[in-house]
Amino acid sequence: MLVTQEFTVKAEGKTILNDLHLDFGPGIHIIMGPNGIGKSTLAHALMGNPKYTVSGAAQLDGKDILALEPHERARAGLFVSFQNPTPIAGISNFQFVKESLIQQEKMTNSMSDITQVLNDYKDYSDVFGLPSDFHKKQLNVEASGGEKKKNEIIQMLLSKPKVSILDEPDSGLDIDSINQLSKQLKTFALENDNRTVIIITHYEKLIDSLSPDTVTILRKDKVEKGDVELAYKVFEDGFGE
């Protein structure tokens, strides 16, 4: 579903990621690595953040995405969550989702579509323990870290992307929310054989509960890939050789 070849990312003349060859098929995948190695950079570069200069190749479901604008990558089926979601005043949490789905051509502006998506948003808000009026609140404004993360997961669940890259979705969540997050991610990945969920995290409980298909370790000079046992080895020995 998501493949990179000779994927190199630079910012301000400095190479952050060099010659990455990655391959993520359907299912749940974990990315780990030392702080500052470029895990978040990978997600942002794939989504088309203009601060990065990218070379090499990246394909989503066989389609070259590096030639596409960020909104075109989203329309092609790529979703990326942020480590620190940005507050945006003047638009509500639901309005953001609605406009996003319309732009991705996943819903119309009809009253029946809007009502259905609003009800779905409220249902997910209830599942994640968000306030009943959260859909009316301004996007990520005066929201806690955990509320912002839950909001992004709801955005993903409603947009149903082919490939989701979630940057530390567990950050700011309590144990009950972590359990619900794991449940929702597994359900989302398993209900469609063509979905790929890539999660950047070091949280042992989340990794253990997700039972990921693969674990990828980003290092300075190489990439190591294995099953969940690779994550357990990191928990025991750290990222040293």
In terms of phi and psi (left: phi > 0; alpha: psi -120 to 50; beta: otherwise), the region of 43 is alpha
Q: Are 88 and 168 in contact (CB under 8 A)?
A: no
Q: What are the domain boundaries of the chain?
A: 2-237
Find the mean pLDDT for residues 33-40. 94
Q: Tens digit of pLDDT for each residue in 89-115? A: 999 999 999 999 998 888 888 898 999
pTM for the whole thing? 0.95
Q: Tens digit of pLDDT for each residue in 114-124? A: 999 999 999 99
Least confident of 67-76, 103-112, 133-142: 103-112
Q: Tens digit of pLDDT for each residue in 1-21? A: 899 999 999 999 899 999 999
CATH code of the domain occupying 2-237? 3.40.50.300
Q: Would you state the pLDDT for residue 109?
A: 86
Q: What is the dihedral of CA 44, 50, 54, 57, to 10 degrees?
A: 70
In whole angstroms, give the CA distance from residue 150 to residue 129. 9
Please count the CA atoms within 13 angstroms of the CA of 62 that sit on its side-chain side.
Answer: 1
Strand order in the sheet with 63-64: 14-24, 2-11, 53-60, 63-64
pLDDT-based confidence at residue 241 (cuts at 50, 70, 90): low
Q: Would you state the pLDDT for residue 4?
A: 97
Q: Would you state the pLDDT for residue 104?
A: 87
